[in-house]
Amino acid sequence: MKSSKILIGAGASAVLLAGCSSVGGGGDAGGGEGSSYPERSISVIVPVPAGSSTDLSTRVVASCLEEELGQTIVVENREGGSGAVGNSAFARAEADGYTLVSTTAANAVLPPILEGDVGYDVDSFKPVGMIGQAPVVLVVGPDSEYQNAEDFFAAAKSDRVLVGIPGATSVPAISINALIEQQDLAMEPVAFDGNQGTVQALLSGEVDAAYVSADGGVTLPRIESGEITAIATAVTEEVPHLPEVPTLESLGYSDLPYADSFWFLATRPDTPEDVTGTLEGAMESCMTNPEVQEQVGAGVAPAEFVDGEAAAEALRSAAEDYAAVLE
Amino acid sequence: MDLFSGVIEGFQVALSPENLLFVLLGVAVGMMVGVLPGLGPAPTVALLLPITFGMAGPSAIILLAGVYYGAMYGGTITSVLLRIPGEAASVVSTMDGHAMARQGAAGKALGLAAIGSFVGGLVATFCLMLFSPTLAAFAMSFGSPEYAVLALLGLVLVAYTSSGTMVKSLIGVGLGLLIASIGQDPVTGSSRWTFGLVDLLGGIDIVAVIMGLFGLSEVLNNIHESRTARTMITNIGRVLPTGRDVKENAGAIGRGSVIGTALGLVPGGGGVLGSLVSYGVERKVSKTPELFGKGAPQAVSGPETANNAASISTFIPLLTLGFPPNGVLAVIFGALLIQGVVPGPTLIVERPDIFWGVVASMVIGNVLLLVMNIPLLPVFVKIAQIPAAVMATITVAILMVGAYSINGNSFDVSVMIVAGVVGFLLRRIGIPPAPMVLAFILGPIFETNFRRSLVLSDGSMGIFASSPVTIGLLAVLLLVLVTAALPAVRSRRKLIEAE
């Protein structure tokens, strides 16, 4: 019994070393009790429905992590309440690295602000690496009368332009409401079911434009195929894979809440450091793996690995942005 | 994808070894529960739902569909031999079917029912193949106002066509709508009826509700009613019908196929409605209506054809519009959601493997049922004698494990138990579970699309009369409401309620 445990421990520290070597650390890899992690299967809670963009990319990364960590990873969808159901289940789990979560910043931050006590808040997550990101874009149909952002906003000032958004408490919803209030616009947001439903409504002509995240599953492929046209992005810097699409900031709409949706893998805050180190190392190998990058999607998978600390920083800044708008 | 390549793909899916096994398993389980009095197709499908979690999409639906139409075959056996309907859609056969059995012609009744079911099943399957792609393509152009009116029409029809009095069905619909409103408001995102419980923020899980309302409440109800054993007629006689039998019943089987297929499409419809209407029609066209109730073969072959046809055509609204017309299809709706497939007009295009695979499996399943039916009769007769206590214990155990396995969450087990007890109490006062479950599914579709339409139109109700589709649907709605109030229809409904 004892010998087999040591064997597993040695295997795990080898993985740990391999994972950490590229970060330049790896000094804390020892032979202590905790370094035998992982000794059993790990579950990853995804607080959104199966088949969504967050879910699909998490599954890609999970199958890579399985190989890196040598243990089965079970992805569980616990949807509902804009992420509150799954994230609160995660917040009740032990801080041992065997229950992880893959959540968007919005689902981590918004329910506690909007609903009050949901059993977790932004400090319940210790990110170990970013999985994907999708800037919010303003898109129109191919035959739209608005061919650029200037036309659109000129009309939106005085007319009731209908803009589809993917849900009442989504990132785009909060961003667009701030935009309308700040600029005193006459446009009207209409909530649909997710990106799929929103883009479908745009294509069928029910709405004049859509304000959705440029995810790899629904929005980006249609922008690339020319079915819909992106006329602005709601982030501060130009998006590399959407060149020539102006940012709202460059159009003079600044101080908008964070509208760059991103999702990350996280463990509980009190997780032992060697465990988070192992996870972060495995995440780095996976997220820099070209195959994983391709499956998650060009433009969706971060070009360079965003480690736990950087993801945590982005999460904190998103939390401050949302709190400022909503309070 | 055209019809031909669709059918080819379908058979490729359905003829794979594991899917062949699932068709066989589905129809065999279906026949078994059809035979067992007190365990109908809806609770069984609900019970099997957790087993499908880990299965591929087509296999899951192939299995559950097989249970449904398999039960239509099996239900006849107990109706004829024991005068207890194995499931609700075979109620009609307890009259003439059992009368035939007492006259020594049990085999003839069962043989005709099996052949009729087979013909009806094939006719409905071909309609499913031919019309679904077109209907789905048409529904692709539907926007929010169309879905709002369609869902409203569905809700009204559910209340109108369900068994039980209309008032009690309406109460069921109202309760279903109320439960559906738990969770987040779809338009504003604010929480409703959650009492500060995070678990309720996501709303009530449909699968847990279905397992409770159909499964557990059924078990409780059976215990409460604890049926007394009846003597079974064991002298079956010749099963294969003669040429003359076939000739005499060809008309009834033909009419039953059409009636059943059409009534499967109606919300609230399905096997029960199909068989009742077919019985009425056969009595009307018969030259010897005085024989009805005393062992007229057409009173068995027609309704048994219709209930099987209806059980298959109920898949058309689910797979093209995302609207489940009855309780069993509501469970299959849940099964699709678990597979990550949202039932709707895009299903046929996005998941041709599921659509065509299921359609092809229905052809195979009906052939299997016809072949199995006759030689296995003695086995099914034995199954009908399993003690209720044994069945109830197994059922409750499976329900508990199943509810937990939906999300690995004990909250869903509580939901299932509460739904089961509430469902049982409601049954005691005559409120059936099906309208509740259907309203639970249709309610959010109606609410979201209705409110979204009003945002789109800036509050003007005119949007609901702005397209030919909505105007047509509103006209049908008006027609239904007017006819429901007519005295002639009211008295006929009384008859159906009395059955």
Q: What is the pLDDT of residues B422-445, one digit of tens each?
A: 999 998 998 888 888 889 988 998
Mutate to test the interface with A, among B146, B191, B198, B346 (most CBs of A within 10 A): B198
Is residue A234 domain-resident? Answer: yes
Inter-chain CB proximity A80 and B408 less than 8 Å:
no
Inter-chain CB proximity B186 and A207 less than 8 Å:
no
From CA B27, how far away is CA B6, in angstroms rounded?
23
Give the domain range for residue A175.
Answer: 135-251
Q: Are B427 and B214 in contact (CB under 8 A)?
A: no
Claim to verify: residue A217 and residue A181 sit in the same structural domain? yes
Residues of B in contact with A114 (CB under 8 A): 189-190
Q: What's the number of CA atoms in the CB half-sphere (13 Å) around residue B403?
A: 28
b/e code B413-448 from CB counts within 10 Å (16+ = b): bebbbebbebbbebbeeebbbbbbbbbbbbbbbbbb
Q: In this predicted structure, which of A238-252, B46-60, B226-240, B401-415 has the lowest mean pLDDT?
A: B226-240
Per-residue pLDDT at A232 exceeds 60:
yes
Q: What is the pLDDT of residues A195-212, one digit of tens each?
A: 888 998 998 899 999 999
Per-residue pLDDT at A1 exceeds 50:
no
Q: What is the pLDDT of residues B298-314, one digit of tens each?
A: 999 999 999 999 999 99
Residues of A in contact with B141 (CB under 8 A): 204
Claim to verify: residue A220 and residue A301 sit in the same structural domain? no
Claim to verify: residue A112 and residue A174 sit in the same structural domain? no
From CA B152, how far away is CA B138, in angstroms rounded?
19
Is residue A256 domain-resident? Answer: no
Closest residue on chain B to A160 (Cα): B458
Which runs of consecutive H residues, i.e. helices, occur in A120-256?
Answer: 149-158, 171-183, 194-203, 219-225
Mean pLDDT over residues B461-490, rounded?
Answer: 86
Give the domain range for residue B92.
Answer: 3-498
Claim to verify: residue A232 and residue A164 sit in the same structural domain? yes
Closest CA of chain B from A243, distance in Å: 31
b/e code B111-126 from CB counts within 10 Å (16+ = b): bbbbbbbbbbbbbbbe
Q: What is the pLDDT of residue B162?
A: 66
Closest CA of chain B from A50, distance in Å: 5
Amino acid at B196: G
Closest CA of chain B from A23, distance in Å: 37
Is residue A119 domain-resident? Answer: yes
Inter-chain CB proximity B452 and A167 less than 8 Å:
no
Count of domains for chain B: 1
CA dihedral B425, B427, B433, B436 (to 10 degrees): -60
Mutate to test the interface with B, among A98, A115, A180, A198 (most CBs of B within 10 A): A115
Claim to verify: residue A270 and residue A125 sit in the same structural domain? yes
Mutate to test the interface with B, among A43, A78, A190 (most CBs of B within 10 A): A190
Q: What is the pLDDT of residues B251-291, one digit of tens each?
A: 999 999 999 999 888 877 777 788 888 998 998 898 988 88
From CA A253, how far away is CA A234, in angstroms rounded?
9
Is residue A266 domain-resident? Answer: yes
Q: What is the pLDDT of residue A6?
A: 37
Closest residue on chain B to A169 (Cα): B189
Whole-angstrom CA distances from B26 to B29, B34, B67, B155 are: 5, 12, 5, 30
| Tokens describing residue B51 | 């087993």
Claim to verify: residue A20 and residue A92 sit in the same structural domain? yes
Measured between CB atoms, which of B189, B196, B201 is closest to A168? B189
Q: What is the pLDDT of residue B490?
A: 62
Q: What is the pLDDT of residue A312?
A: 96
Among residues A251, A278, A299, which one ends one of the domains?
A: A251
Closest CA relative to residue B30, chosen from B62, B85, B90, B70: B70
Q: What is the pLDDT of residues B342-373, one digit of tens each?
A: 888 889 998 999 999 999 999 999 999 998 88
Q: What is the pLDDT of residue B491?
A: 61
Quick one: pLDDT band at residue B315, thresholds 50, 70, 90? very high
Burial class (CB within 10 angstroms; exposed 0-12, middle 13-18, buried 19+) of A246: middle
Mean pLDDT, chain B, whole residue set: 87
Quick one: pLDDT band at residue B152, thresholds 50, 70, 90? very high
Closest residue on chain B to A193 (Cα): B186
| Tokens describing residue B71 | 């039960």
Query: Mean pLDDT: which of A26-40, A95-109, B139-153, B396-410 is highest?
Result: A95-109
**Higher per-residue confidence, A57 vs A1:** A57
Contacts of B12 (CB under 8 A, 6+ apart): none
Q: What is the pLDDT of residues B131-151, one digit of tens each?
A: 999 999 888 888 899 999 999
Q: What is the pLDDT of residue B35?
A: 84
Inter-chain CB proximity B409 and A118 less than 8 Å:
no
| Tokens describing residue B55 | 């299965």
Say whether residue B405 is in contact with chain A using an 8 A CB cutoff. Answer: no
Is residue A236 domain-resident? Answer: yes
Amino acid at A79: E
Residues of A in contact with B191 (CB under 8 A): 81, 115
Claim to verify: residue A81 and residue A200 sit in the same structural domain? no
CA dihedral B122, B127, B133, B138 (to 10 degrees): -160
Contacts of A125 (CB under 8 A, 6+ apart): A101, A103, A108, A264, A266, A269, A312, A315
The CATH number of residue A213's host domain is: 3.40.190.10
Mean pLDDT over residues B96-120, rounded?
Answer: 92
Claim to verify: residue A102 and residue A9 sit in the same structural domain? yes
Q: Are B309 and B277 in contact (CB under 8 A)?
A: no
Mean pLDDT over residues A286-300, rounded?
Answer: 89
Say whether residue B196 is in contact with chain A using an 8 A CB cutoff. Answer: yes
Closest residue on chain A to B197 (Cα): A118
Say whether residue A31 is in contact with chain B using an 8 A CB cutoff. Answer: no
Is residue A15 domain-resident? Answer: yes
Per-residue pLDDT at A277 exceeds 50:
yes
Inter-chain CB proximity B188 and A168 less than 8 Å:
yes
Phi, then psi, of A74 in degrees rounded to 5: -105, 120
Q: How many CB pairs under 8 A join A and B?
A: 72
From CA A77, how far away is CA A86, in angstroms rounded?
8
Mean pLDDT over residues A266-290, rounded?
Answer: 95
Claim to verify: residue A272 and residue A322 sit in the same structural domain? yes
Percentage of chain B exceeding pLDDT 90: 42
Q: What is the pLDDT of residue B70?
A: 93
Is residue A289 domain-resident? Answer: yes
Whole-angstrom CA distances from B13 to A271, B127, B133, B333, B354 are: 46, 20, 18, 20, 8
Count of domains for chain A: 2
Amino acid at A245: V
Provide the ipTM. 0.77
Say whether residue A119 is in contact with chain B using an 8 A CB cutoff. Answer: yes
Claim to verify: residue A218 and residue A74 sit in the same structural domain? no
Is residue A315 domain-resident? Answer: yes
| Tokens describing residue B473 | 């649907």
Say whether residue B186 is in contact with chain A using an 8 A CB cutoff. Answer: yes
Mean pLDDT over residues A267-293, rounded?
Answer: 95
Residues of A in contact with B448 (CB under 8 A): 193
Claim to verify: residue A226 and residue A139 sit in the same structural domain? yes
Phi, then psi, of B317 in degrees rounded to 5: -60, -35
Inter-chain CB proximity B198 and A78 less than 8 Å:
no
Say whether residue A80 is in contact with chain B using an 8 A CB cutoff. Answer: yes
Say whether residue A28 is in contact with chain B using an 8 A CB cutoff. Answer: no
Helix (H, G, I), strand (E, B) or coil at A101: strand
Inter-chain CB proximity A85 and B199 less than 8 Å:
yes
What letter would DSSP give residue A245? P
Closest CA relative to residue B464, chosen from B146, B180, B17, B224: B146
Q: Are B365 and B11 in contact (CB under 8 A)?
A: no
Q: What is the pLDDT of residues B21-51, one digit of tens each?
A: 999 999 999 998 888 876 778 888 888 887 8
Helix (H, G, I), strand (E, B) or coil at A31: coil
Q: What is the pLDDT of residue B310?
A: 93
What letter would DSSP give residue B481? H
Among residues A220, A251, A282, which one ends one of the domains?
A: A251
The CATH number of residue A288's host domain is: 3.40.190.150
